[in-house]
Amino acid sequence: MEIILKENVANVGFKDEVVTVKSGYGRNFLIPTGKAVLATESAKKVLAENLKQKAFKEKSIIDDAEKLAAKISKLDLKISAKVGPDGKLFGSISNADVAKGLIGKKIELEKENISIPGKSIKRIGKYQASIRLHREVSTQLNFELLAEKK
């Protein structure tokens, strides 16, 4: 089923995007909660007109997102966690922990926009997270998990 999103929905898409979702998800959750509308021909025409008007405003937003992406890709983030004797973490590191680490570097992002391969990390080492700043702008963040000093 094709729908037009009225707001950002995690793991589905961003506002004003035409996406295909399973019929039950669209009919029973997205449309009744006001997060989406059915993508009819007239709705698509209205969306196209709205996107033309927003294009100029969005240019500056995209430029800001690209500057932030360049800054993030140059970062060398280090996250410390409690580690057992064999290098395994007590618990795990998730996208929320990476978001907290970025706040320490004065970069605020929603944790939903950060994706870590495997959803969580359980060993120390070097990893890479994918960060989506805008529907057209995404970047990679290199970070390292270190053992917490006792």
128 and 72 in a single domain? The answer is yes
By three-state DSSP, how is residue 121 classified? strand
Last residue of a domain, one of 12, 35, 62: 62
Last residue of a domain, one of 62, 82, 112: 62
> Count of alpha carbons within 13 Å of 6, Cβ hemisphere only?
11
Asked whether residue 76 falls in the same domain as residue 57, the answer is no
How confident is the model at residue 103, as a pLDDT? 83
pLDDT tens for each residue of 123-138: 888 888 888 888 788 8
Do 9 and 44 belong to one domain? yes
pLDDT higher than threshold 70 for residue 150: no
Mean pLDDT of the chain: 85
State how many domains the chain has: 2
| CATH number of the domain where residue 97 is located | 3.10.430.100
Average pLDDT of the segment spanning 70-95: 82
Closest to 10 in 3D by CA, of 43, 21, 72: 21
* CA dihedral sign of residues 46, 49, 55, 58: negative
Q: Mean per-residue pLDDT for 59-72?
A: 84
Q: Indicate if 92 and 124 belong to the same structural domain.
A: yes
pLDDT band at 4 (very low <50, low <70, confident <90, very high): very high
Q: Considering the entire predicted model, what is its pTM?
A: 0.60
Q: Both 55 and 88 in a single domain? A: no
The answer to whether the beta carbons of residues 110 and 102 sit under 8 Å apart is no
The total of other beta-carbon atoms located within 10 Å of residue 33's CB is 11
- The pLDDT, as a whole number, for residue 23 is 93
Between CA 31 and CA 35 the distance in angstroms is: 6
Q: In the structure, what pLDDT confidence band is assigned to residue 26 with cuts at 50, 70 and 90?
A: very high
For CA atoms 100, 104, 109, 114, give the dihedral sign.
negative
Q: What stretch of H or E contains 71? A: helix 41-74
* Domain CATH for 11: 3.40.5.10
User: Position of tokens 């970047």?
Assistant: 139
pLDDT at 45 exceeding the cut of 80? yes
Is the domain of 133 the same as that of 79?
yes
Alpha-carbon span 52 to 132, nearest angstrom:
23
The structure tokens listed for 94 are 């998730």
Domain extent at residue 24: 2-62
Do both 23 and 76 map to the same domain?
Answer: no
Going from the C-alpha of 100 to that of each of 31, 34, 58, 125, the distances in angstroms are 33, 31, 27, 18
Among the candidates 29, 62, 95, a domain finishes at 62
Average pLDDT over residues 35-40: 92
* 23 and 85 assigned to the same domain: no
State whether 140 and 76 are in the same domain. Answer: yes
